[in-house]
Structure 1
Amino acid sequence: MKMISRFKNQKVLVLGLARSGLAAAKLLHQLGALVTVNDGKALEENPMAKELLSMGMKVICGHHPVELLEEEFALMVKNPGIPYSNPMVVAALAKSLPIFTEVELAYLISEASIIGITGSNGKTTTTTMIANVFECAGRPGLLAGNIGFPASEVAQTATASDVMITELSSFQLMGVKEFKPHIAVITNFVASHLDYHGEFDDYVAAKWKIQEQMSEEDFLILNVTQELAKELAKTSKATVVPFSVTEKVDGAYLFENQLYFKKELIMSADEIGVPGLHNIENALATIAVAKLSGIDNQAIKEGITRFSGVKHRLQDLGTVKQVRFYNDSKSTNIQATQKALSGFDNKQVLLILGGLDRGNAFDELLPDLQGIKQLVLIGEVAPRLKELAEKTALPWVMADNVAEATELAFNLASADDVVLLSPANASWDQYLNFEERGDEFIQTVEKIKGEQA
């Protein structure tokens, strides 16, 4: 890594821990910064804070004292999940204190080139698919970022011969200033996280920061199936490489069920290892990255064909008595569930749907539910979904939780049917997160497999 000196003897406040905060604090300490850590979890329940304390850092836990900012900090490094409405952040902004997220630190020290991937849906799948292709090509691609590997941690051991394949959330991108990937991908723009960002335009602006520092020597891969992306492309200094499932473009595109890059046939859409139109889009973005990175077509095809999905993202869990199970717990909004359904024949789908009631209407999902074999409704929003199903004559049953829903769906299924957990809602009414919800689905499928063995 680059042992930069800009933070040496500078007072830096790390706000919020978790894995990214821990990595940022350790890195800054190594770079000679005078680190103060502030985390909301009490010290006695906070092994990360104890570890940093043992390393000689100042640690304040259990609350966020705004008066702490009376100290002359040069920088705040904020956990991405902490909103800008947080009193500590508001006070920092009032003092014109620079606020970074740890991906900015990763960029500043990284010897490796960076591929950055963001978007509302599909970014984890695309990130992992790109890494798969790099692996098949024998190229050193390191997964990093929002996918569970703090970028500032990965960057410390990355070399100039490596490439960091980095998933980036809108939360992370709001805290970058100099960050500049050589290749950036934006999979799509769909209204999401508006409880954090406020307005859709603000959310888009956060995503668009990925290309802010890019020049014409860098490549910005955009999904021009969306008109918004076409308009934004006109404002970027980067070299835009489009991809589309609806038209031939000067980049990656779908035509007559074949995937092309700049008129060169790469592979058939039927060879993609995961179903759905959205995964064709993910594959096109991957092809664009790979071709720009000098990877040959055979490795691209092999990497995409072998790709079998990411946990909780349309994850294939196998078959029991010719009934296939797919875990798409990550689908926490309507658009993600629409994309999941596009890969199946509705008359063979038993869909587990529901979760946290945010008060939104589901009218835009109705066309995608037509002909569905069975809805299994869960969570706080289930009564409203039931009313919608009754009005539109869609078959429904209610379940108390994912485990019960999975058992019900399996008992109602026939050979060649699909039991799909794609809730279109957040999980927080019943589960800590979408991972816990998906894990319950996985565990129930394994239980069914055992019972039917």
Structure 2
Amino acid sequence: MKRLTILGGGESGVGTAILGKKKGYNVFVSDKGKIQKKYKEVLLHHGIDFEEEKHTESLILNADLVMKSPGIPEKVALVQKLIEKQIPVISEIEFASQYTDATIIGITGSNGKTTTTLLTHHLLKEAGVDVGVAGNIGDSFAQHVAENNVDNYVLEISSFQLDGVNNFKPHIAIITNITADHLDRYNYDFNKYVSSKFKITMNQDGGDFLIYDADDEVIEEGLRAHLPYAKLVPFSIERELEYGAFLKEDKIITRLNTEEFSMSISKLTLQGKHNVKNTMAATLASQLLNVRSQSIKESLVNFEGAEHRLENVQKVNGVQFINDSKATNVNATFYALECMEQPTVWIVGGVDKGNDYSDLLPLVREKVKAIVCLGEDNEKLKAVFSNVVDMMVETAGAEEAVKVAYKLSQKGDAVLLSPACASFDLFDSYEDRGRQFKNAVRSL
């Protein structure tokens, strides 16, 4: 019996353990930290061996195959030892994909991947397609494959998950955009990060499709460097295209085969330039799977959007509070500020991943009246923005940040939580940060 060792007892680890056991592996889960109660119960229920708060090398280095949680960097000593021993170290996406014949739509990118994933899933589901959604969002892909049998999967896939793929082959791949993010994991080498994103298409062939942002110079360069075999399906908001999707007179137009699809952007529930692009990508993917135009149009109008992504929380005495906690990098925050139409009090800060905030200066000058810092170390933010806004206040928690922002705002203003940073200094996750923000707003 082959031994499958899993590093990390979170969503992807436990899902892989369930699938591994079902496929006849001798499974062992090892987590350096504490395993959450809900995951521990699942492991016990399935009779899977595990350890927590330690990695026992003798129990790990005897594996035939190792699935590493995406949160564990490759440079840690234990992973290096596995590589030296030539024990394959793969990601959950790689492991699970070999046990399903479903058509896979894989979506990656620095920003927009969650919205594009949820929107693509929505368009397919509303059209009656048998489809599941998993990956970097919601449920583990491996657990889905173990417990359900659907014909199609829409997967949100991070660069960390792509780092561990060898044979993964989506039928449709989408790269929403590529901007500097997570550079701390790639030795501050942007090209390594770009190569990681392009692994989504490396096994595709001429019968597969790669949907991508043709306005993104980094992607265009990546296409020249990696020369994908898949059929290229571009989208653009800057120029008309013979094939793909583009914007003309405030209408999204797609040209894939003979039929031309067209829809006014004013009807979309998702607003902002970046969401026009996300909509184009999801629409193209749905059309490639033969969803009817009328169905796509109806579904684009009734889509709810992603939690923690430019989510209107509520108005308090004429001040609109907006939760964009999912903005964990500068580019995501750039999109958020670009969408703001009223004077804005901006709540920003957290764990900086090597951010360059200078790109935000024009938008901050134009739209932001005050800044509320929400992080343990705000020196970099203060250095960049203290001369640009009249008021800058440091706070140490969501409740305090919301109260201060409310004081600094007046009727007709917006308070925007768009941190541009990871959340791990004060919160468990960006979801935790977003929920605490929403609770604080509701108790004003």
Instruction: Provide the TM-score with structure 2 as the length reference.
Output: 0.92
Structure 1 residue 431, shift from structure 2 partner: 1.6
**For the structure 1 residues 357 and 77, does the alpha-carbon distance in structure 2 shift closer, same or farther, using more than 3 Å as the test?**
closer
Amino acid of the residue matched to residue 72 of structure 2? I
Correspondence list, 1:30-69, <5 A: 30-41=22-33, 48-49=39-40, 51-52=42-43, 55-69=46-60
CA distance in structure 1 between the aligned counterparts of 2:110 and 2:55, rounded to whole angstroms:
31
Q: Distance in 1 between matches of 2:230 and 2:21?
A: 34
Letter in 1 for 2:122: N
Paired position in structure 2 for 1:211:
201
Provide the residue aligned with 2:248 in structure 1.
Answer: 255
* Equivalent of 1:300 in 293, 296, 303: 296
Say whether residues 1:122 and 2:112 are aligned partners. yes
Q: Structure 1 66/417 Cα, relative in aligned 2: closer, same or farther at 3 Å?
A: same
Q: Which residue of 1 aligns with 2:236?
A: 244
Cα deviation code 1:47-102 (max 9, x no counterpart): 6456535644443333113333552x321111111111122211110011111111
How far apart, in 1, do the equivalents of 2:37 and 2:191 lie?
A: 37
CA contact (8 A) 1:370 1:394 kept: no
1:289-329 deviation line (CA, Å, top 9, x unaligned): 11111112222222222223211111122323332221001
**After alignment, is 187-196 or 257-266 more displaced?**
257-266
Local SS of the residue matching 2:276: helix
* Higher mean displacement: 359-368 or 183-192: 359-368
Q: How does 1:289-328 map to 2 (within 5 A)?
A: 289-328=285-324
- Tell whether 2:436 aligns with 1:447: no
> What is the rounded CA distance, in whole Å, between the counterparts of 1:326 and 1:275 in structure 2?
14
- Equivalence map 1:104-183=2 (5 Å): 104-159=94-149, 162-183=151-172
Q: Secondary structure at the match of 1:178?
A: coil
The residue type equivalent to 1:130 in the other structure is T
Q: Which amino acid aligns with 2:55?
A: H
CA 1:275–1:414 in 2, change beyond 3 Å: closer, same or farther? Answer: farther
Q: Give the letter aligned to residue 339 of structure 1.
A: Y
Task: Flag structure 2 segments of 5+ consecutive residues without an equivalent.
Answer: none
SS in 2 for 1:35: strand
Change (3 A) 1:182 1:396: same
CA distance 1:320–1:298, shift in 2 (3 Å): farther
State the distance in 2 between where 1:359 and 1:145 align.
Answer: 26
CA gap 1:409/1:52 in 2 versus in 1, 3 angstroms: closer
- 1:235-254: per-residue Cα shift (whole Å, max 9, x none)? 00001100111112220112
Instruction: String of CA shifts for 1:100-157, please: whole Å, max 9, x gaps.
Output: 1111222111132111111111100110011121232222221111102100111234
Amino acid of the structure 1 residue aligned with 2:141: A
Q: Is there any run of 5+ residues in structure 1 with no aligned partner, and where?
A: 1-8, 449-453
For the Cα contact (< 8 Å) 2:6–2:29, is it kept in 1?
yes
In structure 2, C-alpha distance between the alignment counterparts of 1:440 and 1:51, rounded to whole Å: 28
Q: How many residues align?
A: 436
Q: Distance in 1 between matches of 2:432 and 2:96?
A: 29
Write out per-residue CA displacement over residues 19-61 of structure 1, whole angstroms, 9 at most, x where no aligned residue.
Answer: 2111111211111112222222358x76645653564444333
Tell me which amino acid in the other structure corresponds to 2:176: T
* Counterpart for residue 413 of structure 2: 417
Among 181, 184, 188, the alignment partner of 1:195 is 184
More deviation, 290-299/331-340? 290-299
Q: Is the 8 A contact 2:18 2:146 kept in 1?
A: no
Matched, 1:367 2:362: yes
Taking a change above 3 Å as real, the CA distance of residues 66 and 252 of structure 1, as seen in their structure-2 partners, is same
Letter in 2 for 1:179: F
Equivalent of 1:353 in 337, 348, 351: 348
User: Alpha carbons of 1:361 and 1:41: their partners in 2 closer, same or farther (altered >3 Å)?
Assistant: closer
1:382 to 366, 369, 378: 378
1:434, distance to aligned residue in structure 2 (A): 1.4
RMSD: 2.2
Q: Normalising to structure 1: TM-score of the pair?
A: 0.90
Q: Determine if the alignment matches structure 1 residue 16 to structure 2 residue 25.
A: no
- Distance in 2 between residues matched to 1:141 and 1:336, nearest whole Å: 28
Match of 1:267 among 260, 263, 266: 263
Separation of aligned partners in 2, 1:207 and 1:98: 20
Paired residue type of 1:62: E
CA distance in 1, matches of 2:349, 2:99: 43
CA shift for structure 1 position 197: 2.2
1:431 corresponds, among 406, 424, 427, to 427
Q: How does 1:84-123 map to 2 (within 5 A)?
A: 84-123=74-113
- The aligned residue for residue 3 of structure 1 is none
